[in-house]
Amino acid sequence: MLSMMITNIAKALSSFIAAVFTLTVMMASTAFAAPAAVIDAWPPDARDMDQKAAFKYSQSALKHVIRDAKFTDQNGTPISLEEFRGKPLVVSFVYTSCVSVCVTITDSLLHSLDVANETFGENEFNILTIGFDTSFDTPESMGEFAERQDAGGKNWKFLSGDILNVSQLADDLGFFFYRTPDGFDHLAQVTVINKEGKVYKQVYGETFDTPHLIEPLKDIIYHTEKSVFTPEGLFKKIKFYCTVYDPDTDRYYFDYAYFINLFAGITVMIIPAWVMVRTIRRTQRERKERKEKLV
């Protein structure tokens, strides 16, 4: 009888210890997992930033080379930022439950994408829209957001990421946000990154004029280290100077008149120089002939 009582007490004690251990593990897991699931502010002191400090923080990212980061697109495909090196990259941040600023910024990007594709071609650059509400902006949510805005395309992806990758990219691009009772307060910012992964330009505002985004892309796409005396260098210089903006249509076009005027100006300078050289040579030849006759 005594032996049976001891056995039952041991079993009960063992079960109690196991239950306590399991509960402790669950509480510890919850404690450590929660911070990794959500991010309420970036940088951590974002709530203390006034407008001047936020602008300074954003501008400090210029010329900064962004680090590689891992995301998932709206179709569930893993994406690495390194994949986009070699072409200019445009990056915007949104949170998908937003019904105001993020929607307006995306709409402005949609119009600019249309103009940029028409001007440069969709193979010349890429756009990424990143969800920064890591607790809610899943690949599915990003896909639904893109669909509601009628946005996306071959060179425009909507990405979801975890707290580490989102905060790292926000830090690299000078983007700040913090949670409020109504959602998030955040910088209305679109960032242009050059072919080498360096932050090239910050575009501010919920809406922005088309040239504010297209001109930086034009600078990057048509920039070349090649000499103007090489076919590639000459072609890109011509494209750069002759691709001009028409405010009446809000479109870019190739201005042949500019090229013709440029060619005419060069011709006007070359012909007098050519005539002068021929005159000098003829004078020198005549002097030489006269000297030979005297001899």
Six token digits for residue 20: 């306590």
Any idea what the Cα angle at residue 80 is, between residues 78 and 84, rounded to 5°?
Answer: 125
| Residue reference for tokens 């691009």 | 173
Q: Closest Cα partner for 66 from 37, 93, 89? A: 89
Q: Which of 183, 207, 231 is the last residue of a domain?
A: 207
Six token digits for residue 1: 């009888």
Between CA 257 and CA 263 the distance in angstroms is: 10
Range of the domain at 66: 47-207
SS3 for 44?
A: coil
61 and 182 assigned to the same domain: yes
What is the reported pTM? 0.75
Q: Closest Cα partner for 90 from 30, 181, 155? A: 155
**How many domains does one find in the chain?**
2
Beta-bridge partners for 191: 91, 202
175 and 290 assigned to the same domain: no
* pLDDT tier at 234, thresholds 50, 70, 90: confident
Q: What is the CATH number of the domain that holds 140?
A: 3.40.30.10
Check whether the bond before 88 is cis (ω within 30° of 0). no
DSSP string spanning 271-289? HHHHHHHHHHHHHHHHHHH
Each residue's pLDDT tens digit, 99-151: 999 999 999 999 999 999 999 999 999 999 999 999 999 999 999 999 999 99
Each residue's pLDDT tens digit, 23-74: 333 333 333 333 345 678 888 888 898 989 999 999 999 999 999 999 999 9
SS3 for 29?
A: helix
Q: What is the pLDDT of residue 25?
A: 35
